[in-house]
Amino acid sequence: AQARIGLIGLGTMGAALALNIAEKGFPIAVWNRTTEVTRAFAANAGDLAQNVIPTETLADLVAAIAKPRAIILMVPAGQPVDDQLAALAPLLDADDLVIDAGNADFHDTNRRDGAGLPFRFLGMGVSGGEEGARHGPAIMGGGTASDWDRVADVMTAIAARAEDGTPCAARMGDAGAGHFVKMVHNGIEYADMQMIAEIYGMMRDGMAMEAAAISDIFARWNTGVLQSYLIEISAKVTAAADPHTGKPMVDVILDRAGQKGTGRWTAIEAQHLSAPIPVIEAAVMARNVSARLDERLAGEARFGAAPQPCAIDPQVLEQALIAGKILCYAQGFTMISAASGRFGWTLDLPEIARVWRAGCIIRSAMLNDMAAALAEDPARNLIMAPFFADLIETAIPALRQVVSQGAAAGHALPALASGLMWFDLMRTGRGTANLIQAQRDFFGAHGFQRIDGLDAPHGPWGGLA
């Protein structure tokens, strides 16, 4: 029998995805550059081996797949994808379909899509880490509707299911749309993680709480409005003990965060789109600062350690996190809207929120409500949706208290503070850009609009210069 689909790249994610596909009853042909990896994969597939067809050359892989073929690429983003596409080109027919399921830069996906590849092409964002890939990821597809429809049965079968049973797999739009949405997902992932870490810091440094006590608080929050995968794992990692020293595991981990770049891409793209996403930008900045450990140690030696005691009721911390989370997602969805216009996609905001409800790293209870609020009016900023406007109104005083008391006590809270600053800007009808406009006109005769509509495009700066 021929395979329903093929997969190239049996690294952690590729292997997990292949087993998921085999488990759902689709015969899958697999190939890896190193043949031993392919053999080991097939040997360890257990009961699923009956649905796995290991192949040792690219030509064998192609021959093993039923026509018109569909092949998933799970190789490192960047040049390896281009190399693999080039290697496949002479082997495939025009109606064969290659699906790049890695963490590609969506600009690359757009480029590849427009480069006249001699076969069909989809870019697909897959979230959920190894566990998700194996048992149900969130899947964000990009390409034509007819290409997506060819593999939609496989993708919906392997995807996570939301509580209401809907599979978390959908076509987001043309070409790079799937990888774009996955990129913003990762930006939000960075922001969610950073805000949780800032609140953790308030408890650890402001209130001298032990990791175990912090774990209990996270576990409690995970039963309420904040219920989410990231809060759940925060409770777990703060509960774990180091097998070497017996100390809390988090207390022996160096405070230096790695990053593979997707958060940074989100921040850069947001600038290109003039989309304000300060919480995500702050999260990327904080990771960059975290990497500069020597400078931070020198700063502490010169100016004294920043965080001082600062007691805040955990219920207030919880509310602050709720506010920060809503503000961050509102920014993320606004960025997605802006991209829709810029790239000629019709990105469906409620659909994106629905796809993110399960399987992915940012899955949370709140995404159900976000999907509902965006469905009411996708063009409206999420903070203006009645449900979230009410939640924010209740939670903002807590965020303000945490940011102001925290700042007064030397706690660095870049993501939470950025959220609050953005919120206050967003409810300031008369801002201060009138001064910016006067300055621009003074030094560059850039002109301005008057509030009374009078036609006098420049100020009387002449005599003052």
Number of residues engaging ligand 6PG in binding (CB under 6 A): 13
Residue whose Cβ sits closest to ligand 6PG? 127
Q: Does 463 bind ligand 6PG (CB under 6 A)?
A: no
Nearer to ligand 6PG among residue 150 and residue 179 (C-beta): 179
What are the C-alpha distances in Å from 129 to residues 112, 136, 235, 280, 317?
A: 25, 10, 18, 20, 28
Output the smallest distance, CB 84 to ligand 6PG, in A.
Answer: 19
Nearest to 31 by CA among 107, 98, 111: 98
Nearest to 418 by CA among 173, 158, 254, 198: 198
**Identity of residue 452:** D
Nearer to ligand 6PG among residue 105 and residue 189 (C-beta): 189
Residue 281 exposed, middle or buried by CB count within 10 Å (0-12, 13-18, 19+): buried
Binding residues among 169-198 for ligand 6PG as defined by CB under 6 A: 186, 189
Output the smallest distance, CB 262 to ligand 6PG, in A.
Answer: 5
Q: What is the DSSP letter of 5?
A: E
Q: How is the beta sheet containing 120-127 ordered, strand by strand?
A: 52-54, 28-31, 5-8, 70-73, 97-100, 120-127, 138-142, 169-173
Q: Does 128 bind ligand 6PG (CB under 6 A)?
A: yes
Residues noted as catalytic: 182, 189
Nearer to ligand 6PG among residue 126 and residue 317 (C-beta): 126
Q: Is residue 156 a contact partner of residue 135, using CB atoms and an 8 Å limit?
A: no
**Identity of residue 281:** E
Output the smallest distance, CB 45 to ligand 6PG, in A.
Answer: 23
Output the smallest distance, CB 189 to ligand 6PG, in A.
Answer: 5
Judged by CB under 6 A, which of 51, 127, 266, 418 binds ligand 6PG? 127
- Identify which range of 125-133, 146-154, 227-235, 397-405 contacts ligand 6PG by CB under 6 A: 125-133
Q: Does 109 bind ligand 6PG (CB under 6 A)?
A: no
Buried b (16+ CB within 10 A) or exposed e, 417-449: bbbbebbeeeeeeeeeeeeeeeeebeeeeeebe
Nearer to ligand 6PG among residue 217 and residue 362 (C-beta): 362
Structure-token match 């303000």, residue found: 400
Binding residues among 241-300 for ligand 6PG as defined by CB under 6 A: 258-260, 262-263
The residue ranges that bind ligand 6PG (CB under 6 A) are 103, 127-129, 186, 189, 258-260, 262-263, 360-361
